[in-house]
Structure 1
C-alpha cells in the first residue's frame, strides 16, 4: 500500500458532510489530481460517505477513505487511511479508537488496504484540534520530534502535518521535512490557490487541498498544476 501512495503529489480531500455540485465534482475529478481522499472531522456518516463514493467512482481515480468515525467505515475504497493523532494527551486518538475498531470488526478488517497516518495537528482553532485535544502550540523542534517518533520509532508510512483551515508555518514544515527520512510527508491546511500550493509542494511529498474546493473551485483547480510544476527535492 505504501507503493500506491508514493506517486501522489496532489490530492483533493472531499468531505461527505459538505455539498458539492455535480459540475464541480466532475471538474475536481478530471483536474489531473493524483487521488481523492474522503474524510472529515464531524458529520461523517455511512450514508453520506457511500453517496460520495458512488459519485466519485465513475471517474476512475484512486479513492481513499480517511476513517474518523467507525460508523462511516464503508467498503469499496481502494485504500483506508487510519489517523493517529500524535500530539494529544488523549490516548483515544492514538490507540483507543483503534482498539475498539479491532474488537468490533475483527477479521472483517482488510489489513492489506490499511495505511496509518501519524497526524501532527498544528491549528488550535480547527475542528480536529478541538475534537482531539491536540497540543497545537508546538514549535519547530516539538513538531520535528513528533515527526521523528512517527518516522523512526513507529515506522509509519505517512507523517501528516495538519493545519486544517489555516496556512501553516513553513519554517515548522521545513524542520519536519529535514528530519523525516522514511515516511511520506503529507501537508494539509489553508491552501487557497497556486501560491500556497507551491510553497507546500516544495517541502512536502504530498499536498492535500480541501476547503477551497467548496468556496472557489477554480482556485482549487489551479493548485494541481502548481504542485506538478514545483520541483520535488530528493530528501531521502
Structure 2
C-alpha cells in the first residue's frame, strides 16, 4: 500500500467521480473529515464505496463515524496537543460506555502530528504546530517505542509539508509506518512525498481537480506492481 484517497462525507461527489475513483489505481480509501459530519452523510458515503475490494477505512473523529457495517477503523490519537481529550480522553469515554461492543480487531490506532496551524483539525484539537524536525522525530519514536502504534501520520491538512521534517520522522521508524497527508496537488508532489513516506493520502485535490488527483495514483503499489501492506 502506497496511496490512499481520503473522502470527506461533507463534500459532495458526482456518481461519475465516484466511479472513476473506484476504477483508479489507488490502494484504498479513507472516509473522514472534521466539519459537518453526520451519521447520514457518513453512511451514504460509505455505501458509495463499500463495493470496492480495496481497503476502506473509517477515520473515527466523532461517534457519528462509527458504522457497525464497516470492516476497518482508523482511531486518531493527536500526539502534539496538551488537550488530552484528543490524545486519549474521548477514547476512554467511548470505552467506558461501549467497551463490550467495540470491535478491537478492526481498529488501527494512528498517532497524528498535525503541523498546519490554520488547519481545522489543528484548531479544534489545540495542536502545537510550530515544531522542529527533531521534535517531530521524537513524536515518531514515541509512537513506535512507547505506544507501539502501527501508523504515524504527519498531517499538514491543506498545505504542502516540509520534506525535511518527514525525513526526520522516517529515519527513526522501523516497525511503525509513516503516512503523510497535506497539500498534494500534482503527481510531482505525490512523488516527492512518496519517496519518503510509506503511504501518501490525497484528499482535497479530489474536489479541486479530479484529473490531477487520479494522476497521483501512479505512485501506488498497484501501479508499480507492488503488493506490500503498509499497516501490518
Per the alignment, residue 65 of structure 1 pairs with 58
Q: State the 1:72 CA deviation.
A: 2.5
Superposed CA offset, 1:186-229 (max 9, x none) = 00000001011001100011111000000100000000013457
Per the alignment, residue 146 of structure 1 pairs with 139
Q: Which runs of 5+ in 1 are unaligned?
A: 1-7
Within-5 A mapping of 1:1-236: 8-228=1-221
Instruction: Measure the CA separation in 2 of the matches of 1:37 and 1:124.
Output: 23
Instruction: Measure the CA separation in 2 of the matches of 1:54 and 1:169.
Output: 35
TM-score by length of 2: 0.93
Superposed CA offset, 1:123-172 (max 9, x none) = 10100000000000001011111111001111100000000000000001
Match of 1:58, SS? coil
TM-score by length of 1: 0.92
Instruction: Measure the CA separation in 2 of the matches of 1:74 and 1:225.
Output: 31
Q: CA RMSD in A?
A: 1.5
How many pairs were matched up? 225
Instruction: Measure the CA separation in 1 of the matches of 2:79 and 2:171.
Output: 19
Q: State the 1:26 CA deviation.
A: 1.0
Superposed CA offset, 1:41-76 (max 9, x none) = 121111111101111123333211000001331122
Q: Which runs of 4+ in 1 moved over 3 A?
A: 226-232
Q: Which one is further off, 81-90 or 24-33?
A: 24-33
Match of 2:215, SS? helix
